[in-house]
Chains A and B, each alone.
Chain A
Amino acid sequence: GQSLEQPSEVTAVEGAIVQINCTYQTSGFYGLSWYQQHDGGAPTFLSYNALDGLEETGRFSSFLSRSDSYGYLLLQELQMKDSASYFCAVKGNDMRFGAGTRLTVKP
C-alpha cells in the first residue's frame, strides 16, 4: 500500500529555520509535493520535486531523495505568518497526502 509519514507538530521561533521531514512508501512515484494550509483555508502549492536534490523558492526549499524515499521542506527566516499546516504529497497516477505537520511560530 501507500503511506506517508511526517511529524504531527513542530514549534519554532521567529527568524529560525525549521525542517519538516516526509518519508513515503508507494507503488508508483513521479514526485513529491508540498502544500501549506492555514486554518480555515484551502491547501496551496509550495513546491514539487521530481528529481533528487534541492529546489529553492524564496525562503522555502524542498529536497528529495528517491533512493531513500525521503524528502523535506525547509523554511528559513520564519515569520509569524508561516504558522500553518504543511502537507507532503506523493504524485503517482493519483495524489496522496500525509496527515500534515502543524507548524507554530512563536515570537
Chain B
Amino acid sequence: EAQVTQNPRYLITVTGKKLTVTCSQNMNHEYMSWYRQDPGLGLRQIYYSMNVEVTDKGDVPEGYKVSRKEKRNFPLILESPSPNQTSLYFCASRATTLGELFFGEGSRLTVL
C-alpha cells in the first residue's frame, strides 16, 4: 500500500528537549516536504526536498532542521523546541512531475 508514515503521532515534550519526527514514504518519490498547520493559517511549508541531499527552506523554517540522506526518509528535527512550535505537523511526498501530494497522518506536537 502506497503510504507516507510519520512518527510519533502524538507527543508532549518540554522546552529545549531535542526531538525528531520521522517521515518515510514507500512510493519512491523524489519530492518530500514538511508542513505545520495552525488554526486559521492553513498549511505552512517548513522545509522541502527535491531529492536526496537537496533541501530548501519553506515559509517558516526557523527552529527546524531537516536531512535527506535517503530517498524514502525525511526527518524533521527540533533542536530546542519552544511553545510556539506547538502545532500539527504533516509530512508529504510526490513524484516530481505530478501534482498529487500524498500526506502522512499528522503528528500533533505540544511543547510545554
Which A residues are within 8 Å of any B CB, using their own CB? 8, 30-31, 33, 35, 41-45, 48-50, 87, 89, 91, 93-100
**Contact count A vs B, C-beta below 8 Å:** 60
Known: A42-B104, A94-B48, A94-B56. A99 touches B99 (CB 8 A): no
**Complex interface: chain A residues within 8 A of B81 (CB):** none
**Complex interface: chain B residues within 8 A of A50 (CB):** 99
Which of B33, B42, B102, B106 sits near A94, CB closer than 8 Å? B33
Q: Is the CB of A93 within 8 A of B50?
A: yes
CB of B90 closer than 8 Å to a CB of A? yes
CB of B100 closer than 8 Å to a CB of A? yes
Chain B interface helix/strand/loop/mixed: strand
Which of B42, B94, B104, B106 sits near A97, CB closer than 8 Å? B42
Q: Is the CB of A91 within 8 A of B99?
A: yes
Q: Is the CB of A96 within 8 A of B98?
A: no
| 16 pairs, CB–CB < 8 Å, chain A vs chain B | A8-B40, A33-B100, A42-B103, A43-B103, A48-B99, A48-B100, A91-B99, A93-B56, A94-B56, A94-B58, A95-B101, A96-B45, A96-B58, A97-B44, A99-B40, A99-B42
Q: Is the CB of A96 within 8 A of B94?
A: no
Q: Is the CB of B106 within 8 A of A42?
A: yes
Q: Is the CB of A43 within 8 A of B43?
A: yes
B32-74 Cβ-contact flags toward A at 8 Å (1 or 0): 0101000011111100101000001011000000000000000
Bound complex: CA A93 to CA B94 (Å)? 12
**Complex interface: chain A residues within 8 A of B31 (CB):** 95
Bound complex: CA A91 to CA B31 (Å)? 12
Q: Which 5 pairs, one residue from A and one from B, show the smallest C-beta to C-beta distance?
A: A48-B99, A99-B42, A97-B43, A42-B103, A45-B100
**Complex interface: chain B residues within 8 A of A96 (CB):** 45, 58-59
Measured between C-beta atoms, what is the minimum distance from B109 to chain A in Å? 15
**Complex interface: chain B residues within 8 A of A98 (CB):** 42
Which of A33, A43, A94, A97 sits near B99, CB closer than 8 Å? A33
Q: Is the CB of B42 within 8 A of A42?
A: no
